[in-house]
């Protein structure tokens, strides 16, 4: 797991670091964890104690009813995400030994507001077709925007409340190949350098047009976890620290993400330099683009995504 998660051998304790991060971001980002377990399971006392110490998660017993378990788990998820994600699981089989949950909820307000009047503009999709979408519009938005050669994208930085920013990366065309080109260049180093570059750009009065967004993405994590080198969790995991009496294997992993972009703010519960001028009097994200929700406190992205059909 150290290799798959890129943890150094001298990394002290991922749990204590997560607790520090949670405290650091508590003003803008809500993180919560919960554990549900089969009452016939002899859960490790050490695991239960550390779950409370680092994650404020007291293990809760599952019932014999799948319906009751589903309601219990989904109610917890809905509460932690301010009802933005109301369903994560649809069944909890009787043989389920353990359910580990983690919820993250972010609610940021624009530091500069958009016009309240509703407008609709054509958005060019990946296939070249257009669709009319409701947009956020401002004729004179104080915006830092610049072409970032390392990413082959025009980037705009929108400051949010709580020491965070929304970055929109606009490829030169609406083609899928241009979108993938930018995605391929988004390494940790490249994104960090982009943030540093944009922080040096002086905001200027800019005509801004952004589509209103509501993203709700469900992802089956099993294949992704195997791809990053965590296959042993499914096949021959050593999880004796959780359950010392018998072998415990991962059977299912799910992820659901929600992000909303409206007049109020951001709510979340992944060409050539000749194509752009270096300074723009307008920034129009009316074709596929990428989003990075960045925390200045953590100096790390909280959310990454692509928008192809808002």
Cα distances (angstroms) measured from residue 195 to each of 76, 192, 290: 35, 5, 14
Q: What are residue 273's phi and psi, to 5 degrees?
A: -65, -15
- What pLDDT sits at residue 180? 95
Q: pTM score, two decimals?
A: 0.73
Scan for tokens 């359950």, then name that residue: 243
- What pLDDT sits at residue 286? 92
Q: Write down the CATH number for the domain with range 14-105+218-256.
A: 3.30.497.10
- Indicate where the chain has its CATH 2.30.39.10 domain(s): 110-212+262-307
Cα distances (angstroms) measured from residue 93 to each of 215, 235, 298: 29, 19, 38
Class of domain 110-212+262-307: mainly beta
- What pLDDT sits at residue 132? 93
pLDDT means per 10 residues, the chain with 310 residues, are: 60 71 74 80 80 84 87 87 80 77 74 81 92 88 93 93 88 94 94 95 91 71 71 62 62 65 54 31 89 86 85
Structure tokens at 134: 């409701």
Structure tokens at 209: 């047009």
- Indicate where the chain has its CATH 3.30.497.10 domain(s): 14-105+218-256
For residues 76, 297, 3 and 98, what is the CA-based torsion angle, rounded to 10 degrees? -10
- What pLDDT sits at residue 299? 85
Residue 139: CB atoms within 10 A of its CB come to 11
Structure tokens at 100: 């580990």
Contact of 29 with 66, CB cutoff 8 Å? no
Q: Under 8 Å CB-to-CB from 161, ≥6 apart: which residues?
A: 28, 108, 109, 110, 111, 265
- What pLDDT sits at residue 126? 92
Q: Is 6 left (phi over 0), alpha (psi -120 to 50) or beta?
A: left
What is the dihedral sign for C-alpha 163, 30, 309, 219?
A: positive
| DSSP codes, 206-255 | EEEEEE-EEEEEEEE-HHHHHHTT-THHHHS---TTT-TTS-------EE
């Amino acid at each position: 797991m150290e290799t798959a998660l890129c943890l150094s051998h001298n990394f002290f304790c991922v749990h204590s670091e997560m607790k520090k991060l949670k405290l650091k971001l508590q003003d803008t980002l809500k993180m919560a964890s919960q554990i549900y377990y089969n009452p016939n399971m002899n859960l490790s006392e050490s695991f239960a104690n550390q779950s409370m110490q680092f994650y404020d998660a007291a293990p809760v017993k599952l019932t014999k009813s799948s319906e009751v378990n589903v309601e219990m788990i989904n109610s917890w998820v809905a509460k932690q995400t301010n009802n933005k994600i109301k369903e994560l699981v649809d069944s909890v089989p009787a043989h389920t030994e353990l359910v580990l949950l983690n919820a993250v909820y972010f609610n940021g307000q624009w530091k500069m507001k958009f016009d309240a009047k509703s407008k609709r503009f054509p958005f060019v999709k990946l296939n070249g077709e257009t669709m009319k979408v409701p947009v956020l519009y401002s004729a004179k938005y104080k915006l830092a925007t610049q072409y970032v050669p390392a990413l082959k994208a025009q980037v705009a930085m929108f400051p949010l409340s709580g020491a965070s920013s929304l970055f929109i990366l606009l490829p030169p065309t609406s083609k899928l190949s241009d979108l993938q080109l930018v995605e391929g260049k988004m390494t940790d180093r490249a994104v960090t350098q982009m943030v540093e570059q944009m922080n040096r750009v002086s905001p200027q009065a800019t005509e801004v047009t952004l589509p209103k967004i509501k993203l709700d993405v469900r992802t089956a994590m099993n294949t992704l976890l195997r791809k990053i080198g965590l296959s042993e969790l499914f096949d021959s995991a050593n999880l004796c620290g959780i359950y010392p009496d018998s072998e415990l294997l991962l059977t299912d992993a799910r992820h659901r993400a929600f992000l909303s972009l409206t007049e109020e703010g951001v709510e979340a519960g992944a060409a050539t330099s000749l194509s752009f001028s270096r300074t723009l009097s307008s920034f129009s994200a009316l074709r596929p683009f990428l989003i990075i929700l960045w925390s200045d406190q953590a100096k790390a992205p909280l959310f990454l995504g692509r928008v192809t059909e808002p």
